[in-house]
Amino acid sequence: MSKESAYVTLLTNESYLPGALTLAKKLKTDLKTVHKLIVLLDKSALSDHSIELIEQVYDEIIPIDDKLINAPLAKVVDQLGREELSITFSKLLLWNQHNYDTLIYLDSDTLPLKSLDGLFEKYKDLKSTQIVASPDSGWPDIFNSGVLILKPDPEVFDKLIEFSATDNSTFDGADQGLLNEFFNISSSGSNWLRLPYLFNVTPNYTNAYQYYPALLRFFDQIHLLHFIGKFKPWHAEDILSSDLNNFHNFWWADFNKFYTTDIKSKLLSLPKGEAY
Ligand code: UPG
């Protein structure tokens, strides 16, 4: 029997739950994906009610409670100032999901605006030694690791784990630095297949730099928004404005559409943890 392809996200605590739920609802209800939705979940960190909400939208929960991988804390704090990102080394577990063919990994702070299903067909012949990702807006010779297309493979997984334990495996202390070292830098870029920026647009209202004319020119073609940085849309509704580049508006419009007042207030009162 041929293997399935699927979307997958990572969720290790309740502080990213509103994002993970809105992401799944968007893919299923609005964009009507025909693919399965999977979550790599640390169940021990979520309440029963939160797990019920996850079960309502995700087709499969892969528990990773006893498999979490942490990057050494000192470097991620030193380089990025964000302790909570140490846990993102757990993205390496993606390569161990070899019951699946192609995986499209999406961070739980992403919001697709258009269907991404065509990417499965486009990259069906991808090799497990390659990765597909968009350039990072802060350093375009490096890919952003919030949207990844990959082929799970136990051999590549073992190599990643081995590599992650070496000194200097990650230049930023987290998964993005590690995955770029492994797939991109070590092959002088040849194992990184570039996905257009339109598939991982990372505006940040605190960014000093935004290429506004390009934003206007390509606005209608944006396939996915990614709310990078410490401050996520669900942390506050009161910064919303009608500015075109205030992308938090898009997340709130969907969250308000998908969840009733009752559930919304519960979700918004969840602990924000280190991420806040
Ligand atoms: N995550 C959790 N719990 C945490 C922290 C992170 O589940 O406590 C998951 C979640 O899916 C989240 C993802 O990991 O979306 C990445 O964390 P996030 O805060 O969204 O990272 P960014 O601010 O977007 O930072 C960048 C990249 C991201 C990469 C990270 C570390 O966009 O893809 O993982 O840097 O390299």
Q: Helix, strand or coil for residue 195? A: coil
What CATH number should be reported for the domain holding residue 162?
A: 3.90.550.10
- Residue 43 has a CB neighbour count (10 Å cut-off) of 16
pLDDT of residue 34: 98
pLDDT range class, residue 246, cuts 50, 70, 90: confident
Q: What is the pLDDT of residues 86-113, one digit of tens each?
A: 889 999 999 999 999 999 999 999 999 9
Q: What are the structure tokens assigned to 175, written together?
A: 């998964």
Q: What percent of the chain has pLDDT over 70?
A: 93
- What are the phi and psi torsion angles at 133 (to 5°)? -165, 160
Determine the pLDDT at residue 206. 56
Residues 6+ apart with CB under 8 A from 153: 95, 98, 128
Instruction: Return mean pLDDT, the chain.
Output: 92
Alpha carbon of 88 to ligand 1 centroid (Å) = 6
Strands 192-194 and 224-226: unpaired
Q: Hey, which of 85, 93, 226 would you mutate to test ligand 1's pocket, going by the most ligand atoms within 8 Å of its Cβ?
A: 85
The closest alpha carbon to 266, from 53, 61, 111, 10, belongs to: 53
Query: Considering its fold, how many domains does the chain have in total?
Result: 1
Local confidence band at 205 (pLDDT 50, 70, 90 cut-offs): low
Question: Are the C-beta atoms of residues 17 and 55 closer than 8 Å to each other?
Answer: no
Lowest-confidence range among 55-64, 94-103, 166-175, 242-251? 242-251
In the numeric block, which tokens belong to residue 110?
């992403």
Asked whether 5 and 100 are in contact (CB, 8 A), the reply is yes
Q: Residues with Cβ within 6 A of ligand 1?
A: 9-13, 15-16, 84-85, 87-88, 107-109, 144-146, 172, 174-176, 228-229, 275
Q: Which residue has the higher pLDDT, 72 or 259?
A: 259
ipTM: 0.99
Residue 228 alpha carbon to ligand 1 centre in Å: 8
Domain of 92, in residue numbers: 4-275
Ligand 1: residue whose CA is nearest its atom 31: 174
Cα–Cα distance, 130 to 68 (Å, whole number): 23
**pLDDT attached to residue 192:** 98
Under the banding of pLDDT at 50, 70 and 90, the label for residue 73 is: confident
Query: For residue 103, what is the DSSP state?
Result: E
| pLDDT bracket for residue 275 (50, 70, 90) | very low
Residue pointed to by tokens 């990078």: 228
Between the CA of 18 and the centroid of ligand 1 the distance, in Å, is: 14
> pLDDT at position 184, please?
98
Could you tell me which of 180, 7, 187 has the C-alpha nearest to residue 107?
A: 7
Asked if residue 57 has pLDDT above 60, the reply is: yes
Categorize the per-residue pLDDT at 242 as very low, low, confident or very high, splitting at 50, 70 and 90. Answer: low
% of the chain residues with pLDDT over 90: 74
**Ligand 1, atom 25, residue with closest C-alpha:** 228
pLDDT at position 276 over 50? no
Strand-pair category, 36-41 with 60-63: parallel
List the one residue out of 74, 85, 3, 10 whose CA is nearest residue 43. 10
Tell me the Ramachandran region of residue 80: left when phi exceeds 0, alpha when psi lies from -120 to 50, beta otherwise. Answer: alpha
CB contact set of 178 (below 8 Å; sequence gap of 6+): 71, 89, 92, 160, 163, 164, 169, 170
Residue 14: count of CB within 10 angstroms of its CB: 17
- 188 CB-contact burial (10 Å; exposed 0-12 / middle 13-18 / buried 19+): exposed
Measured in Å, residue 60 CA sits from the centre of ligand 1 at 21
Average pLDDT value for residue range 245-258: 90
Question: Between residues 77 and 31, which one has the greater pLDDT?
Answer: 31
Phi, psi of 50 (to 5 degrees): -65, -40
